[in-house]
Structures are given as structure tokens and as C-alpha cells.
Amino acid sequence: MNNNVSIRRISQKERYKVNELIKKRAPKEYQEYLSEDEGQLGIVNSDYFFIYVAEVGSEPVGYIHIALIPKPDKRKGTMFIDDLWVEPEHRRKGIAEKLMEEAFKLTKKYDFVEFRLVVNTDNESAINLYRKKGFELSGGFFGRKPVTADC
């Protein structure tokens, strides 16, 4: 476990810290979306979307995106871990676990009933981490489709 790591929620103005990490790993077709404009109408400061950054000193080395998905009735909602990533040279030091702990703290604050996430089936290290944290593999399918003018 790396004790020199700090985890904190970032503000809209600090979004660039995570964007720089995303640029390192995002497919080419997503690079155009990583601009420094206001984008997403302030969603970073929303009560339903959270971005936490892991920093060693002032250097961002990882992040997690968490979305709260409420239900339109009395049922409690779901927390969705949309993205979790740590720089390769900082992996296996407990940073991803620390980022996940922030998500776990949110469930207590918002009293949601479950987590959901999607993981690539060939990402064994992520699957092992999620299992270690109590997630169970389900038989679901998830795909991606870029948004186009005709969809």
C-alpha cells in the first residue's frame, strides 16, 4: 500500500488533471473529446457524478469516475463505477483500492444498495481486484457504440 498517495474529488476547473491521464490511454477516436472547454455543462460538480484523482505529491497517477443512478420510485439506486485507471508504473501499490474506497464511502452517504461496473473480460488484474473487493462476475454483455449523426 502506498502511503504517499492522496485521494480527493476534483473540481470542474481541475478536470484537466484527469484528462491528461485519459489521453495516455484513450483510443484515438476519443482524443477529440478531451478538450479543456467547459464540456458536459458542469457535470463534474454534480451531486450524481464524481471524479476522484489519486496523486503522488501533486502528480496525478490514477482516477475513478463514479455515477449515481437513482430510481424514479422508492427503490434505492445504484452506484456505477464508470472508469478506474492507474498509471502502469504505479499499479500494484494499493492505489486502485484506495480509489474504490472513495466509492464505498459514497454508498454510505447516499444509502444506495449496490455497485455496478463493466470490465473487459481480458483484464484479469481488474477482475481480480473487483473480486477481492466483493464484486461477483455476472453473465451480462456490454458493448460500445460511438455516437454518430445517424444514431
CA angle 51, 64, 109 (to 5 degrees): 65
Say how far apart CA 117 and CA 101 lie, in whole Å.
15
Model confidence over 112-150: pLDDT tens digits?
Answer: 888 888 888 888 999 999 999 998 878 766 666 666 777
Domains annotated on the chain, with CATH: 5-132 (3.40.630.30)
Output the pLDDT for position 76: 78
User: What is residue 22's three-state secondary structure?
Assistant: helix
Q: Are 70 and 77 in contact (CB under 8 A)?
A: yes
Model confidence over 38-80: pLDDT tens digits?
Answer: 555 456 667 788 889 999 998 999 999 898 888 887 777 888 9
Model confidence over 1-35: pLDDT tens digits?
Answer: 556 899 999 877 777 777 777 777 666 666 666 55
Q: What is the largest CA-CA distance in the chain?
A: 49
